[in-house]
Amino acid sequence: MRNQTGCAHCSRLLACATLVVALLVPFLLISTGMSQGSGTLVVAHHEGFATLDVTSSTRRSTLGIARVLLFDPLIMRGSDGSFQPGLATAWRQIDDLTLELDLRQGVAFHDGTPFTAESVKFTIEKLLDPNQRTAQGFLWEGITEVQIIDDFQVRIVTARPFGPLMAHLTLGAMLPPNFDPEVNTTQPNGTGPFRFVSWSPGEELVVEANPDFWGDAPGVERVVFRPIIEDATRIAGVLSGDIHIAFGVPVQLVSVLNATPDVDIARVPSPITQHISLGGDARPPVGGDPRVLQAIDLAIDREALIRDIFQGQAEMPSSIYSPNVFAAHPNLPAKVYDPDQARFLLAEAGYPDGFEAEIWYTAGGELQIADAVVAITQQLADVGIKLNIRVAADWGVGGPIINGRNFDMYYNGWATYTLDPDFYVWANFHPNARNREATDTYEFGPEVVSLVEKGRFSTDPQDRIDAYQRLQEILWENPTRLPVVQPFDLYAVHSDVQGFTPRSSQMWWDLRQATLGN
């Protein structure tokens, strides 16, 4: 008996010991975090990388950060939005269908493979391959062929003249012909200013300065990128000095950061314009009668929204899309707030006592969206329109509601990341767009469609400007979406950092010039 008890003790001791060892193992296996030298820039964003295959995803993390750090496009954008030489040093439109590019010589990929015309052909053909899982197909769909003239000259041929081609090329990344999907989707090999060091999904991406970079050497030795979804934590990282630059500062934390001596806020107009989509003809009374639409437009007090909800971190919308997008109209009449006129128009349209309708938004975005919807509901109640708020749990739920037009009003936004209007107007106002259901039916006046087509199928910049500005005038007067506010993108930047200027397209984190002081 005694002996048996002893044995039970033994086995319990053994069990305890095993448990202790089991607990220690993970400590030993997890590597020891960030090695923050003086030349290491730590940046944080609210989106994780699902993949480092920069030709597959259109996420801001993959396309806007990993691509810009590790790869180069053929054509770049200057900070003023102009087209600048990238891996192509010069380009010319030979005819309406052909763009000829001279390629930069003496450039090598991080593994030493030289960059040549083969890379261009390989990359674009890979993206056009229907067996490629990519969300970037829209960037390249106009292209039919890449012709190699010699090692450093190529021609890109399109089926029809393709106006947005140059803008789309700035979002590309050139891959080496020896690209191996097994290896290079997790260990990218590009020509960019930084080269890949390591990636722990959900935790960090580490890159180091590329000593053989063809352009100016980057200002820091290393960049550590950390995805931190939670706003409060990301900002806490900036306050504690662990993070140098954080994207996505929530408006409600701006005052906290402004009161912190070591942190500055950099801001730039977002490519996203927040608007209310309208259900259209099928959803009266909001749709159908232009007077009702105008009444809603007049009943929204945008200045109050900007002041009280966005706390000054947004502007009055100047057009249907962001002012930094190509051909943005510079002088459309400002939106006015006139509830009396709104009531008058409603009465004229046959709704002297107003009506009831639904307004949707998608949860999970910035807090201001929910607040703005509540505020708009109150503003419209003043003119007799009673809005019932409906919430979609995420975009997966909201998408089918929008595409099926099962709503009266939907508060959302459209990000014109390419900074070319085609990205927005084709998807929303052309009958052949994929989201055909999503496009409104009543704005398809023949003039709208022809202007959308003229913008896409013309390679002459002035023709495109004329077409898009006329289109903006039409859609400003007869809204199918009511632009609400033009928010700013906010970045928290530690005072150690110099030379970081945020870009309006969220697809370009310009860290080349950033340096660390002290």
Shortest separation between residue 41's beta carbon and other proteins, angstroms: 16
Q: Residue 60 burial by CB count (10 A; 0-12/13-18/19+): exposed, middle or buried?
A: buried
Measured CA to CA, the distance from residue 272 to residue 483 in angstroms comes to: 11
Among 3, 11, 331, 518, binds other proteins (CB under 8 A): 11
Work out whether 324 is an interface residue with other proteins (CB under 8 A).
no
Q: Select 136 or 210, whichever has its Cβ closest to other proteins.
A: 136
Shortest reach from residue 70's CB to other proteins, in Å: 17
Q: What's the min distance (Å) between Cβ of 215 and other proteins?
A: 30
Q: Is 270 in the site for other proteins (CB under 8 A)?
A: no
* Binding mask of the shown chain, residues 108 to 147, with x at each position contacting other proteins by CB under 8 A: ----------------------xx-x-x-xx--x------
Q: Taking a C-beta distance cutoff of 8 angstroms, is the pair 47, 57 a contact?
A: no
Position among 229, 282, 363, 381 found at the interface with other proteins (CB under 8 A): 229
Could you say which of 6, 33, 330, 333 contacts other proteins (CB under 8 A)? Answer: 33
Q: Where are the beta strands (DSSP E) in 381-472?
A: 385-392, 409-415
Q: Looking at this protein, which amino acid is placed at residue 171?
A: L
Helical spans, DSSP H, in 259-321: 290-299, 302-304
CA atoms within 13 A on the CB side of 307: 4
Say if residues 375 and 250 touch (Cβ distance below 8 Å). Answer: no
227 binds other proteins (CB under 8 A): yes
Q: How far is the CB of 404 from other proteins (least distance, A)?
A: 10
230 binds other proteins (CB under 8 A): yes
Residues 179-208 that bind other proteins (CB under 8 A): 185, 200-204
Length of the chain: 518
Residue 170 binds other proteins, judged by CB under 8 A: no
Residue from 2, 3, 21, 32 binding other proteins (CB under 8 A): 32
Answer whether 512's CB lies under 8 Å from 193's CB. Answer: yes
User: Which position among 18, 31, 144, 441 is part of the footprint of other proteins (CB under 8 A)?
Assistant: 31
Q: How far is the CB of 283 from other proteins (least distance, A)?
A: 19
Long-range contacts of 367-372 (CB under 8 A, 24+ apart): 367/250, 367/251, 367/252, 368/251, 368/309, 368/310, 368/487, 369/274, 369/411, 371/309, 372/274, 372/305, 372/309, 372/310, 372/411, 372/484, 372/485
The CA distance from 405 to 34, in Å, is 48
Which of the ranges 87-95, 210-218, 220-228, 281-289 carries the binding residues for other proteins, by CB under 8 A? Answer: 220-228
CB of 240 to other proteins, least distance (A): 5
Query: Among 337, 331, 345, which Cα is nearest to 473's?
Result: 331
- From the CB of 351, what's the least distance to other proteins, in Å? 32
Q: By CB under 8 A, is residue 106 in contact with other proteins?
A: no
Stretch that binds other proteins, among 266-274, 343-351, 395-403, 454-462 (CB under 8 A): 395-403
Residue among 7, 13, 17, 30 that touches other proteins (CB under 8 A): 30
Note whether 395 binds other proteins by CB under 8 A. yes
Binding mask 397-436 vs other proteins (x if CB under 8 A, - otherwise)? x-xx--x----------x--------x--xx------xxx
Q: What is the DSSP letter of 251?
A: G
Q: At what angle do helices 290-299 and 367-382 cross, to 10 degrees?
A: 110
Q: Is 40 in the site for other proteins (CB under 8 A)?
A: no
State residue 249 phi and psi, 5-degree precision: -85, 120
- Taking the least distance from each CB to other proteins, the nearer of 8 and 304 is 8
What six digits make up the tokens of 415?
């990000």
User: Tokens 């490629």 sit at which residue?
Assistant: 132
Nearer to other proteins, 193 or 227 (CB): 227
| Strand-pair partners of 246 | 44, 492
Strand, coil or helix: 91: strand
Single residue of 10, 13, 50, 90 touching other proteins by CB under 8 A: 50
With tokens 């950060």, the residue in question is: 65
* Helix intervals (H) in 283-403: 290-299, 302-304, 339-348, 367-382, 395-403
Which DSSP helix (H) or strand (E) runs through 84? strand 83-85
**Which residues, 56 to 75, sit near other proteins by CB under 8 A?**
56-58
Q: Give yes or no for residue 334 binding other proteins (CB under 8 A).
A: no
Give the DSSP letter string of 40-71.
EEEEEESS--S-S-TTT---IIIIIIIHHHH-
Q: In the complex, which residues of this chain contact other proteins (CB under 8 A)? A: 8, 11-12, 15, 19, 22-23, 26-27, 29-34, 48, 50-51, 53, 56-58, 130-131, 133, 135, 137-138, 141, 185, 200-204, 226-230, 232-234, 236-237, 239-242, 364, 394-397, 399-400, 403, 414, 423, 426-427, 434-436, 438
